[in-house]
Structure 1
Amino acid sequence: MSTLLLIFAAALVMAAGGTPVARRLALRLGVIDQPNARKIHLDPIPLLGGLAIYAAVIGALVLFGARAEVNQLAAILIGASWISFFGFWDDHQGLGAGTKLLAQAGAALILIVGGVMVRLPLPAWVNWAITLFWVVGITNAFNLLDNMDGLSGGLGAVAAAFFLLLAAISGQYLVGGLAAALLGACLGFLIYNFNPARIFMGDTGSLFLGFLMAALGIKMRFPSNVPWVTWMIPLLVLGVPIFDTTLVFFSRLRRGKNPLTTPGKDHVSHRLVQRGWTRREAVLLLYLTGCALGAIAIFVAVADRLAAYTVGVIVAATALAGLVELEQRYTNDERRSISEGESRPI
């Protein structure tokens, strides 16, 4: 436990100290997120906060991380470095969606080769496919979630905190060390990223964060529970990013738009603001939702199979109802806006 505290503290200090340095670097290189019609910020904001998160996580683990499961830890950090490189490239010069997807698939393959993969009682190729889908999906979920001050970093901190608690309960040091480093790095970065943000993490940070969350979800194991229950735990811990990405994906498909390349203010956070919430209130509500789902994940981790699946069905049904309700309201608002535009005199 003392080692985990050291990792957490080191990452927190490094991120808090490194983020202003990353901000100055972004200003010097001209890596700035300019406001436009599809974004909600009104002033140019430096990117590259993700460099501070990356350096804090890697630095804390190198300084204080144990050498247990070193091969798998190496695979995770190599994959994370790979995806962060492409994130930096995208922040600095811009990358196409196809290139980013290939980079994410490459990072997933690094995990598989390193032995970090889903291990359900299924044929090997099915587990490989699920691993690829999971890594690409969660990496993109955090990338898409980075749409409001403090949202991706804050939900990353919430998820890391619950992964850390779950690792402490089950004695999983690799998961605990990674989660402690991520928690410290996210909190250190949030000092500068919470509303009003002075720096954004950019793709350098959001892809790195999403990839490590995916790896933590894969590594989470509960020997006292069966695999068909264990798989629900990372889905719950990462429930808010998964819900948001699912909503945006199907909403854009329904409107005949490409969900991967079409920008828009159609995320859960945007929809809450459109319903009258302030940006801070919307972000804090999503933090609380993440905490509630994390608490449910802890219950599922120690519950018997029947109780776990009962709770899982209730959560899934609630999420489905929420998807339908949010999409219906969004559609009604769009129709009302179009109707008011057509009826306005020229």
Structure 2
Amino acid sequence: MSVSLAQIFLIFLSALTMSIVSTPLVRRLAIAVGIIDQPNARKVHTNPVPLLGGLAIYGGVVVTLLIWDDQFILRELAAILGGATIVVVCGMLDDKWGLSASLKLLGQIIACFVLIYAGIQVQLFASPWLNALITIAWVAGISNAINFLDNMDGLSAGLTAVASAFFLQLAVLNGQFLVAALSAATMGACIGFLRHNFVPTKIFMGDTGSLFLGFILAVLGIKLRFPSNSIIVTWMIPIVVLGVPIFDTSMVIVARLRRRVNPFNTPGKDHISHRFVALGSSRREAVLICYMLGVGCGITATMLSKADVQEAYALAALLIGIAAVGIWLFERYARYNPPK
């Protein structure tokens, strides 16, 4: 299906408006039911802040897509929204009562099976089982990377908006309406939420939002196709678009393994945003720097979409080298407060 820029703009505008309008309502709901994030030594905020902001983002995306449901393949749309709803419910339960990492992972795996049943999966190899395993690893990995990254006001929502903008651009250039529409809706909902989430914040998205956004970004990466280039090149493009959360998660895992603590159940101020603060940036500046890095990753991914095999793998090797040096520099010069 060809991509109509007018339709895409209307989808973006619809999600933006619904997110802006619904976020204050969700904030009141979170206060009424007592879903509040309390400050502690491991967090940067000093006052209680309502959670559940992700519910407004979810609503903005889902309602917008349902309005345009006659433009999509029903099976794919149902699978995406069904899987997203599963991870949102898990996130809400975690925001209210706290779930173990294993239960949240189980919810993500179930959501992956919904996608796979509908034919939405990685298609790199001849073996469907191997493709299914990679799909589960990708969706769970990106979902948790965005969840990890949600540690400063506006960070996860802003970086998701940046990544969605580049997924939108790539989808339009390659004539993919579903990816373009989902990207536009996600970008609009995130920007609308930022109206209430950037410094000074009035509400947090919580796991409800971060797990949902990670799931959607993973789906966008799976669905994006490049008919004019080879799959041995294009499989790297979603990874590069999502380079900042992937780098952040990799650095946190390395740092915590070096300290001989569990990388996933040990919260701490050792993320990329915290490292920039340790180097002298304000929290707002740290978030804006991460946005700029996200833009850089998106531009690099756009270049990669036009590269031949030799150029692509040379660029990939360069990016891996930069990431490795970056982790070493952060570990050496950007001190952080280990959890107590």
TM-score between the two structures when normalised by the length of structure 2: 0.96
Runs (5+) with no aligned partner, structure 1? 336-346
Structure 2: 5+ residue stretches without partners: none
Residue of structure 2 equivalent to 1:121: 125
Q: Which amino acid aligns with 1:138?
A: I
- Report what 1:181 is aligned to: 185
C-alpha contact (below 8 Å) 2:79/2:115 kept by paired residues = yes
Q: Distance in 2 between matches of 1:261 and 1:161?
A: 32
> What amino acid does structure 1 have at the position aligned with 2:47?
D
Match among 94, 98, 105 for residue 102 of structure 2? 98
Which of 18, 21, 24 is residue 22 of structure 2 equivalent to? 18
Structure 1 position 49 matched with structure 2 position 74: no
Show the 5 A alignment for 1:81-230: 81-230=85-234
Residues 310-345 of structure 1, C-alpha deviations (whole Å, 9 max, x = no match): 2222112111111121122356x779xxxxxxxxxx
Q: 3-state SS of the aligned residue for 1:184?
A: helix
Q: Which residue of 2 aligns with 1:27?
A: 31
Q: Deviations over 1:10-40 (max 9, x none)?
A: 0000000000001111111111100001001
Counterpart Cα distance in 1 of 2:17 and 2:275: 35
**Matching residue's letter, 1:189:** F
For residues 235-274 of structure 1, what are the structure 2 equivalents within 5 Å?
Answer: 235-274=239-278
Is the Cα contact below 8 Å between 2:278 and 2:334 reproduced in 1?
no
The alpha-carbon distance between structure 1 residues 334 and 21, as it changes in their structure 2 partners (threshold 3 A), is: closer
Q: For residue 209 of structure 2, what is the amino acid of its counterpart?
A: G
Distance in structure 1 (CA, Å) of the matches to 2:30 and 2:8: 31
Q: Contact 1:65–1:177 at 8 Å: present in 2 too?
A: no
Candidates 287, 308, 332, aligned match of 1:304: 308
Offset of residue 56 of structure 1? 0.3
Q: Give CA deviations for 1:275-323 in whole Å, capped at 9, x if unaligned.
A: 1110011000000000011011111112222222222221121111111
Change beyond 3 A, Cα 1:82–1:334: closer
> What TM-score, normalized by structure 1, do the two folds share?
0.94
Tell me by how many angstroms 1:266 deviates: 0.5
- Tell me which moved more, 28-37 or 303-312: 303-312
Give 1:261 shift.
0.6
1:123, 1:204 → 2: CA distance? Answer: 33
SS of 1:276's equivalent in the other structure is coil
Quote the Cα distance in structure 2 between the aligned partners of 1:200 and 1:138: 19
Report if aligned partners of 1:6, 1:64 keep a CA contact under 8 Å in 2. no
Aligned partners of 1:98, 1:66: CA distance in 2, in Å?
37
Between the aligned partners of 1:114 and 1:328, the Cα distance in structure 2 is 46
| Shift >6 Å, 4+ stretches | none
Q: CA RMSD in A?
A: 1.3
